[in-house]
C-alpha cells in the first residue's frame, strides 16, 4: 500500500501540515496489529506444531503373568517396563505422518506389527512407545531404527533387536534368555544370569557393557576382532583364554552354568561388577 | 450119536472160519445179525474156544459200559480229544502231503511276484539304502548352520579328515567357501528386493540403512582380506559368516518396509 501511495500524489496534496494523512494512520495502525499477530503466531507456533504433529494412542489389555509382548516398530523409541499389575498398558506417540497401529491380542500374546500395518506407505513418522507389562512377561521387541529400553523383566525371554541404529538398554533383567542385537549403537545390560540361561549380545559397532553380579556363572565366548578391546574386569580368571591374538576370549566363570556369547565386530566389550 | 455130533461140528466150523466169526462178534452181541448168521456164529462159538474167549471179552466190555456212567467213561472235552486223535491219524496217514502243502504256502507268499516287481523292489531297496547312507554321512560330516561357525581343522574327526582327503567330503575351508557363496547369493536376492523398496523410505531411514550397510561391508572387507592372507584363520571365517548373516538380516528387514 505504501508503494501505491507514491503513485497517488493527489492524496498527499490534501494532507494538513504536522498531521499524518488518515490513510497513512490507518496503515500504520494495521501494521502494528499485523506485527502483534505475527509475533503471537511466531511465539506459539512450535507448541501448536508439536500438538498437531503428535497423536497419542493408548490401550490396555488384561494379561496373565507370563504374557508375551511381540512388537515390531519401524522407527522411534520403545520403552518397556515391568510392573505388578496383571495387565498390559500400551501408550504410543505417533509423529506425522501418523502410522497405522492395530495391536492384536491372540492366545496370550499381544502383537503390534507396524511394518505390516504400514506396508507400502511412503514415509511414516516415528512411533514412540511406552509399554508396561507384568514382570514375568516374555518381551520380544524389534525396530528398524531407534532406541530400545527394557526394565524390570524376569520372564523367560527378553529379545531386543535394532536393524540399524539405536542403543539397547536392558536394566534390572532376570530373564532366562536374553538376546540383544543392533547395528550401530551401544548395548547395556544390567541384570542377573540364570543357571541354564542363554545370553547373547551382538553389535556391528558400539560398546557392549554388561553389569552382572560377581556370583554369576557362565561359559563365555566374547569376540571383538577389530578393536580387540575386551575388558573382563573382575571376571577375568585363569579359566579364560585369549584366542586369535586377543580377538576373542573363551572360558568359564564360576561353574559355567549359563552361556554368554558376545560379538562386537567393530566395537568394545566390557564387564562391570554389579 | 457121538459120530453125528462130531460130523455136525466139523460142518459148522467149515461154514464159518475164526476170522469171519470174530468180525461179527460185536454185531452178534448187539443182536443185530439175522437168524441164520446168528445161529452160525453161535454154533462156531460153541465149538471154538478161541473165538468164545474173544466173545467173552467183548461181552465184558459191553457190560462194563452199561454199568458205568457216561461221564466216567468219556474223557473231559471229548470233542477236542477226538480232534487231536483225528489230526494225529491224518498226519500219520499223509505225512508227505501235509509238509508239502506247508512248504508250498510259505514259498508261495515270498516268491509269488513277477520279475519286474522283484526288480523294482531291489532297485527301491538299493536307492533307499544309498540315500540313507548319503544323508547319514552328510549329517555326520556337515554340521548345522550354527555349528558351522565353530567348525575348524582341529575339531574335525579322523573319519572326516579321511573322507576329505579321499574327496568324499569337503574340508572345513571348502565347506566355508560353499557357505559364503550361498550367503552371497541370498544377499544378492534380498538386496534387489530392498533396492526396489528404497524409494518408499524417508531420507532418515535411507541414510541409516546406508550407514549400517557400509559398516557391515567394512567388516566383511576386513575379514575377507585376512582370510585371503591366511585361509586357515578360523576366527575370521566365523566372523565373516556372522557379518554376512548380519547383512542378510538387514537387507531382509528393509525389503519389507
User: Mind listing the pLDDT tens digit for each residue in B162-204?
Assistant: 777 777 777 777 888 888 889 899 999 999 999 988 888 888 8
How many domains does chain B divide into?
Answer: 2
Q: What is the pLDDT of residue A67?
A: 93
pLDDT of A7 reads 41
Residue to mutate among B212, B232, B247, with most A CBs inside 10 A, is: B212
Q: Which residues of A touch B255 (CB under 8 A)?
A: none
Asked, for residue B47, whether it belongs to a domain, the answer is yes
B255 contacts chain A (CB < 8 A): no
Residue B200 is assigned to a structural domain of this protein: yes
Optimal mutation site among A100, A227, A265, interface B, most CBs of chain B within 10 A: A265
Residue B123 lies in a domain: no
Which secondary structure element, helix H or strand E, spans residue B172, and what is its range? helix B172-197
B190 in contact with chain A, both atoms CB, cutoff 8 A: no
Q: What is the average per-residue pLDDT within B67-76?
A: 61
* Distance from C-alpha of B254 to C-alpha of A245, rounded to nearest angstrom: 36
Across the interface, whether the CB atoms of A204 and B216 are under 8 A apart is answered: yes
Partner-chain contact B212 A164, CB within 8 Å: yes
Residue B126 inside a domain? The answer is no
- Contact (CB<8Å) B243/A265: yes
Asked if B181 reaches chain A (Cβ–Cβ under 8 Å), the answer is: no
The pTM of the full predicted model, rounded to 2 decimals, is: 0.63
Domain of B55, in residue numbers: 2-70
pLDDT, residue A5, reads 40
Question: In this structure, is residue B30 part of a structural domain?
Answer: yes
pLDDT (0 to 100) of residue A23: 64
pLDDT band at A114 (very low <50, low <70, confident <90, very high): very high
Percent share of chain B, pLDDT over 70: 71
Rounded CA Rg of chain A? 29
Q: Would B108 be classed as within a structural domain?
A: no
Mean of the per-residue pLDDT values of chain A? 87
Q: Rounded distance, CA A178 to CA A140, Å?
A: 10
Between A2-11, A81-90, A226-235, B103-112, the lowest mean confidence (pLDDT) is in: A2-11
Banded pLDDT at A90 (limits 50, 70, 90)? very high
Pick from B21, B48, B70: which residue ends a domain? Answer: B70
Residue A126 pLDDT > 90:
yes
Instruction: Give dist(CA A158, CA A178) in Å, integer.
Output: 5
Residue where one domain finishes, among candidates B70, B89, B111: B70
A51-62 pLDDT, tens digit per residue, is 455 789 999 999
Each residue's pLDDT tens digit, B210-242? 999 999 999 999 999 999 999 889 899 999 999
Q: Does B211 touch chain A (CB under 8 A)?
A: yes
Q: Is residue B112 part of a domain?
A: no
With b meaning 16 or more CB within 10 Å and e meaning fewer, what string describes A35-50?
eeeeeeeeeeeeeeee
Chain B CB contacts of A263 under 8 Å are 239, 242
Domains recognised in chain A with CATH numbers: 2-51 (no CATH), 56-273 (2.160.20)
Which chain B residues touch A164 with a CB distance below 8 Å? 208-209, 211-212, 250
Which residues of A127-257 form beta strands (DSSP E)? Answer: 127-134, 138-145, 148-153, 157-162, 168-173, 177-184, 187-191, 198-205, 207-212, 218-223, 230-231, 241-243, 248-253
Give, in degrees to the nearest 5, the angle at Cα A222 between A218 and A224: 165
Asked whether residue B130 is domain-assigned, the answer is no
Give the domain-ending residue among B10, B37, B70: B70
Q: What is the DSSP letter of A78?
A: E
Amino acid at each position: 500500500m505504501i508503494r501505491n501511495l507514491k503513485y497517488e500524489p493527489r492524496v498527499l496534496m490534501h494532507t494538513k501540515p504536522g498531521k499524518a494523512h488518515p490513510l497513512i494512520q490507518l496503515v500504520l495502525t494495521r501494521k502494528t496489529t499485523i506485527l502483534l499477530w505475527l509475533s503471537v503466531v511466531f511465539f506459539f507456533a512450535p507448541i501448536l506444531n508439536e500438538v498437531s504433529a503428535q497423536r497419542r494412542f493408548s490401550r490396555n489389555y488384561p494379561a496373565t503373568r507370563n504374557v508375551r509382548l511381540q512388537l515390531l516398530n519401524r522407527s522411534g523409541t520403545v520403552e518397556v517396563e515391568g510392573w505388578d499389575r496383571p495387565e498390559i498398558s500400551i501408550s504410543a506417540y505417533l509423529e506425522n505422518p501418523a502410522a497405522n497401529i492395530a495391536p492384536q491380542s491372540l492366545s496370550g500374546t499381544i502383537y503390534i506389527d507396524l511394518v505390516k500395518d504400514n506396508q507400502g506407505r511412503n514415509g511414516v513418522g516415528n512411533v514412540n512407545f511406552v509399554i508396561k507389562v507384568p514382570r514375568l512377561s516374555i518381551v520380544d521387541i524389534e525396530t528398524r531404527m531407534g532406541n530400545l529400553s527394557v526394565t524390570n523383566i524376569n520372564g523367560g525371554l527378553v529379545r531386543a533387536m535394532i536393524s540399524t541404529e539405536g542403543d539397547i538398554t536392558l536394566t534390572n533383567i532376570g530373564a532366562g534368555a536374553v538376546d540383544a542385537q543392533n547395528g550401530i549403537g551401544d548395548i547395556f545390560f544390567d541384570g542377573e544370569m540364570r543357571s541354564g540361561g542363554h545370553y547373547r549380545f551382538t553389535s556391528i559397532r558400539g560398546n557392549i557393557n554388561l553389569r552382572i553380579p560377581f556370583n554369576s556363572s557362565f561359559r563365555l565366548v566374547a569376540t571383538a576382532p577389530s578393536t580387540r578391546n575386551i575388558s573382563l574386569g573382575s571376571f577375568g580368571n585363569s579359566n579364560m583364554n585369549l584366542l586369535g591374538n586377543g580377538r576373542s576370549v573363551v572360558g568359564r566363570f564360576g561353574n559355567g552354568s549359563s552361556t554368554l556369547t558376545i560379538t562386537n565386530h567393530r566395537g568394545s566389550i566390557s564387564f562391570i561388577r554389579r | 450119536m457121538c459120530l453125528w455130533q462130531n460130523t455136525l461140528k466139523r460142518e459148522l466150523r467149515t461154514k464159518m472160519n475164526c476170522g469171519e466169526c470174530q468180525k461179527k462178534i460185536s454185531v452178534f452181541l448187539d443182536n443185530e445179525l439175522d437168524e441164520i448168521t446168528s445161529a452160525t456164529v453161535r454154533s462156531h462159538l460153541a465149538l471154538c474156544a478161541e473165538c468164545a474167549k474173544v466173545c467173552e471179552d467183548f461181552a465184558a466190555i459191553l457190560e462194563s459200559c452199561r454199568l458205568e456212567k457216561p461221564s466216567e467213561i468219556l474223557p473231559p472235552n471229548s470233542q477236542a480229544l477226538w480232534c487231536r486223535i483225528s489230526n494225529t491219524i491224518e498226519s500219520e496217514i499223509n505225512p508227505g502231503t501235509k509238509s508239502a502243502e506247508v512248504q508250498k504256502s510259505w514259498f508261495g507268499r515270498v516268491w509269488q511276484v513277477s520279475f519286474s516287481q522283484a526288480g523294482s523292489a531291489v532297485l527301491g531297496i538299493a536307492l533307499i539304502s544309498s540315500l540313507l547312507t548319503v544323508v547319514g554321512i552328510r549329517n555326520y560330516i556337515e554340521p548345522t548352520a550354527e555349528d558351522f561357525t565353530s567348525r575348524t581343522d582341529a575339531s574335525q574327526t579322523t573319519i572326516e579328515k579321511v573322507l576329505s582327503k579321499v574327496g568324499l567330503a569337503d574340508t572345513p575351508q571348502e565347506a566355508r567357501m560353499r557357505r559364503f557363496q550361498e550367503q552371497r547369493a541370498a544377499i544378492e536376492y534380498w538386496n534387489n528386493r530392498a533396492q526396489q523398496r528404497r524409494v518408499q523410505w524417508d531420507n532418515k531411514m535411507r541414510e541409516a540403512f546406508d550407514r549400517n550397510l557400509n559398516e557391515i561391508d567394512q567388516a566383511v572387507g576386513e575379514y575377507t582380506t585376512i582370510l585371503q592372507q591366511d585361509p586357515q584363520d578360523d576366527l575370521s571365517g566365523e566372523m565373516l559368516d556372522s557379518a554376512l548373516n548380519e547383512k542378510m538380516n538387514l537387507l531382509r528387514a528393509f525389503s519389507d518396509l
